[in-house]
Amino acid sequence: MTTGARMMDESPESLESRVAALEAELAAVRAEMQDFTATVSHDLRAPLRHIVSYVQLVQEDAGPQLEPEVLGFLSTISDAARHMGLLLDGLTALSRVGGMPMDVCPVSLQALVQTVREKLTEKHPQRAIEWHIADGLPTVLADTDLLYQALTHVLGNAVKFTAPRELAKIDITAEPSASPGFVVLKVQDNGVGYNPAQQARLFQVFGRLHSAKQFEGIGMGLAMTRKMMTLWGGSVSAQASMDAGCCVEMQFKLA
């Protein structure tokens, strides 16, 4: 007899008990992973601080006596240590997403998208960005704070990867999903895009598709966005081509 058949034969009380046990087990695994990530992050920060501090001392005390090549080595060590600190920050932030208290409620995409757009515009006053935000974006079920973060990641990427364009264009629209009761929010930009052959890495932790010299960041934003979206039954995907822009689709349940 299959697992599904056995569950169908169980009484409602027994089935509820099994579901509760599985939920408790899942919560315990999540808590364990969060504790592990927090511990690793905390224990690694002290040696990183020591590396940065002692490199700085050597640069200050012995800098004039050192060859330029040696000074370059010290700068590389310091930069690498600081970058590792950013990676640890990213892991810590990702681990906290699943453990944060959630309040899934009706959220106006229209209002929240406008808020994120205004924040990004203030952050990049020197950029020429042409925003096209459709009227009547729907109200969806999500956690407001986490959705704000997810939209900041997605719209922030659109701003980041259109930086080489003289005029950045970002279009935000919504359309019915193929799944009844759901809607898809589309964010299309005219940025640099990416190689479709690297699609599988897009939502991975530290899944950078461009070098750090081209664009800043550690490749954590979309991984966090996917984790946030799944918390309230949504999803996120993206399609792009090289030097031909990117379209990110976020699927939500309608309120």
How far apart CA 164 and CA 244 sit, in angstroms, is 12
pLDDT at 241 over 70: yes
pTM over 0.85: no
pLDDT digits (tens, 9 = 90+) for 149-200: 999 999 999 999 999 999 999 999 999 999 999 999 999 999 999 999 888 8
Confidence class of residue 34 from pLDDT cuts 50, 70 and 90? Answer: low
Q: What is the pLDDT of residue 29?
A: 63
CB atoms closer than 10 angstroms to residue 147: 26
Q: What percent of the chain has pLDDT over 70?
A: 87
Q: What is the pLDDT of residue 185?
A: 97
Lowest mean pLDDT of 45-49, 69-73, 140-144, 239-243, name the range: 45-49
pLDDT at 9 over 70: no
Confidence class of residue 16 from pLDDT cuts 50, 70 and 90? Answer: confident
Q: What percent of the chain has pLDDT over 90?
A: 45
Q: What is the pLDDT of residue 237?
A: 94
Q: What is the pLDDT of residue 63?
A: 82
Q: What is the pLDDT of residue 41?
A: 67
Mean pLDDT to the nearest integer, 191-213? 85
Q: Quick one: residue 141, left, alpha or beta (phi over 0 = left, psi -120 to 50 = alpha)?
A: beta
Q: What is the pLDDT of residue 182?
A: 96
Confidence class of residue 8 from pLDDT cuts 50, 70 and 90? Answer: low
Question: What are 95's two structure tokens?
Answer: 């681990």
CA atoms within 13 A on the CB side of 122: 6
Question: What are 66's two structure tokens?
Answer: 């050192």
| More confident of the two residues 38 and 172 | 172
Q: What does pLDDT average to over the chain? A: 86
Beta-bridge mates of residue 182 = 253
Among 75, 69, 90, smallest CA distance to 225 is for 90
Domains contained in the chain, CATH given: 12-97 (1.10.287), 104-253 (3.30.565.10)
